[in-house]
Amino acid sequence: MDKRLERILPRVQKPARYVGGEYNAVMKDKAEVDTRIAFCFPDTYEIGMSNLGMRILYGVMNQIPGVWCERVFAPWGDMEQEMRKAGMPLFALESGDPITDYDIVAFSVGYEMAFPAILNMLDLAGIPIHSAERPGLTPLVIAGGTAMYNAEPIADFIDIVSLGEGEDITVELVELHRQARREGWSKAEFLRRAARLPGLYVPSLYDVTYQDDGTVKAITPLDGAPAVVTKRIVRDMDKSYFPVKTIVPSTEIVQDRVMLELFRGCIRGCRFCQAGYVYRPVRNRSRELCAQYGVESCNDSGYQEVTLSSLSTSDYPPLTELCDELEDFCEHRHVNLSLPSLRADNFSMNLMQRLARGRKTGLTFAPEAGTQRLRDVINKNVTQEELLRSCHTAFAGGYNAVKLYFMLGLPTETDEDVLGIADIAARVMHEWREAAPNKNRGVRITVSTSWFVPKPHTAFQWEPQITREEYERRVKLLREAITTKTVTYNWHDSATSVIEAVLARGDRKLCKVLETVWCKGATLDAWEEYFSFERWQEAFAECGVDPAFYANRRREKDELMPWSMISSGVSEAYLWRENERAREGVTTPDCRTHCNGCGANKLVGGKCDV
């Protein structure tokens, strides 16, 4: 261990975040390695280690002979301060080496508010933040993750963006980079060749011009780069890597359990949900393999909880059979099965009895909107009757807590829709009174609302975000309407969602804003403790950028989006058709009921696993 680190650790919170040495962490002999990868998560250890995608890619890269992938997380403020004071650069957990020694620096980015942390981590490492200031092949800075479906606000800082699922394209990119170093290519030549690999977007190979009104005029590919880059996916989930021998953290993390991925994609088509669109098409992992991975992961790690994880886990066709197959093992090992959230339209007593045996704490449902009219607008094909019936079933089975998630500010939302949330909470309370076998335990009903953020590659990418003042008015309206003492109301901070909306739909003019706000001190802006709305306002003003132009403006059908060179596989025509159906209040059936022609099935040869 670096002597400077030994002196620092007693002075910081949660020092276990920074020391590594966990069970199953991959250690390699540097003499047998020709490519070193610093796999960076622009948030704290507790958040990054809870990310299943990071665990998967960590395992995939470390399976490549001659390659060593190590983890790097953003330090908390106290640790960063001590590191800068001691002149200690950002380092990887496995070896403790500074990441300037690495060939590839790869970021996993799932949230736009992590953008400032990317710049801060590069600077803390001693790496120039601008890609133009890094003329050599190393360190190559790449980024992937859901937030990269619009990478334009960080286009000046990233060499290559990996789109979609990284298991295959990451291996191809690493091999191309090894070839480039062996054969002495220039960085420019390497980037041109990388742009030919399907799924890789090279921002510097695209020229963007703007209209007088600030909208994008044209996006011109250069040096043979493709006009459109389409995401990569894993076609066969049974052949995809699963981290059975996963790292067991030596300190508490957010998701400290086995995360068992059942399938990718979603059949539902909720019009606000970016993940639901960009992870299409649906691909299931076999029940037998899921059961095997669940058992092997618990045996290897010692975990006593398994989360059955996917975008809509209760839509996994053999879910009940999988729970039955795991039943004997779970009872013998005292392992609990849990689902992060449930569909109210397919929750049953059979399913409930198989979840969290003997530990009935709480269930989570996400109706998203307070009235059926608005649920039809967003294509959330769940009725109030189905929700209440599911809550009744849960209360009758001994559960005494339900969490309900909603959004405020959805397109076409009215005050009646907002007040409908309070009405649903009251009706859920009534179901508890009707169904609970033991009312002495009481009940906890939690209503949580977030603020709708229009995201790229969704049916609502053209829609505006309501203003901050209007959002806070609706929060106040709902807060005053919830009068039942057993109902707790939590709402999302408004200022963060403003910036998220700006970054989500932003263009390259935001690169200067991002650099400016980072220079003013922005680092871990995904955390309330570090976020400053005033700092962002100052940066917008100094750069002459109006945030309302990005967040609060409805976009027209023929406007060229900043992310138009990126394709998730879902056609623009389909997204616009869904937007029109939303305006008409017309629902679209789920993919299992009827193929709606979104186009994503072309990525798997024409057939999804629905």
CB 417 within 8 A of CB 373: yes
Q: Give pLDDT tens digits for 488-508.
A: 999 988 899 999 999 999 999
The SS3 of residue 35 is strand
> Peptide bond before 456: cis, by omega within 30 degrees of 0?
no
Q: What's the pLDDT score for residue 343?
A: 77
As given in the structure block, the two tokens for residue 484 are 């039942």
The set of residues, in sequence order, having a beta carbon less than 8 Å from that of 245 and lying 6+ positions away, is 24, 59, 300
Alpha carbons 114 and 508: distance in angstroms, whole number: 17
Distance CA 402, CA 399 (A): 8
How far is the C-alpha of 520 from the C-alpha of 518, rounded, in Å? 5
Q: What is the DSSP string of 453-514?
A: ---TTSTTTTSPPPPHHHHHHHHHHHHHH---TTEEEEE--HHHHHHHHHHHT--TTHHHHH
CA separation for the pair 33, 423 (Å, rounded): 61
Q: Which of 437, 421, 332 is nearest to 371 (CA)?
A: 421
Tokens, residue 384:
């109030």
Rg (CA), the chain: 24
* Residue ranges in the chain modelled with pLDDT below 50: 358
How far apart are alpha carbons 139 and 578 in whole angstroms?
42
**CA atoms within a 13 Å half-sphere pointing along the CA-CB vector of 341:** 14
Q: In this structure, are residues 472 and 415 in contact, taking their beta carbons and an 8 Å threshold? A: no
d(CA 483, CA 466): 26
- CB neighbour class for 529 (10 Å; exposed up to 12, middle 13-18, buried from 19): exposed
CA dist., res. 575 & res. 270, Å (int): 11
Locus of tokens 């059942």 = 262
Virtual torsion, Cα 560, 564, 565, 566, nearest 10 deg: 180
Between CA 382 and CA 207 the distance in angstroms is 44
Burial class (CB in 10 A: 0-12, 13-18, 19+), 469: exposed
Q: How far apart are CA 320 and CA 302, in angstroms?
A: 24
pTM here? 0.95
CB 364 within 8 A of CB 344: no
- For 59-128, the DSSP string reads HHHHTSTTEEEEEEEPPPHHHHHHHHHHTPPPB-TTT--BGGG-SEEEEE---GGGHHHHHHHHHHHT--
Q: Which helix (H) or strand (E) holds 292?
A: helix 287-301
Three-state SS sequence of 117-156: HHHHHHHHHCCCCCHHHCCCCCCEEEEECHHHHHCHHHCC
The rounded distance, in Å, linking the Cα atoms of 511 and 503 is 10
Token look-up 């959004």 returns 407
Q: How far apart are CA 525 and CA 564, in angstroms?
A: 27
pLDDT of residue 397: 85
Could you tell me the CATH superfamily of domain 3-230? Answer: Cobalamin-binding domain (3.40.50.280)
**CA 288 to chain CA centroid, nearest Å:** 27
Give yes or no for a contact between 158 and 114, defined as CB atoms under 8 angstroms apart.
Answer: no
CA atoms of 340 and 566, how far apart (whole Å): 30
Q: Are 337 and 306 in contact (CB under 8 A)?
A: yes
**With contact defined as beta carbons under 8 Å apart, do 572 and 580 qualify?**
no
Residue 361: its pLDDT value, please?
A: 59
Separation of alpha carbons 586 and 568, rounded Å: 24
Check residue 356 and give its pLDDT. Answer: 54
End-to-end CA distance of the chain: 51
In sequence order, the β-bridge partners of residue 528 are none
SS (H, E, C) 255-277: CCCEEEECEECCCCCCCCCHHHH
Task: Express each pLDDT in 271-305 by its tens digit.
Answer: 999 999 999 999 999 999 999 999 999 999 999 99
CA–CA distance, 455 with 504 (Å, rounded to integer) = 6
* Residue 269, token pair as written in the block: 């088509």
Long-range contacts of 127-130 (CB under 8 A, 24+ apart): 127/99, 127/100, 129/157, 129/515, 130/156, 130/157
DSSP-assigned beta bridge partners for residue 206: 221
Task: Give the three-state DSSP class for 39.
Answer: strand
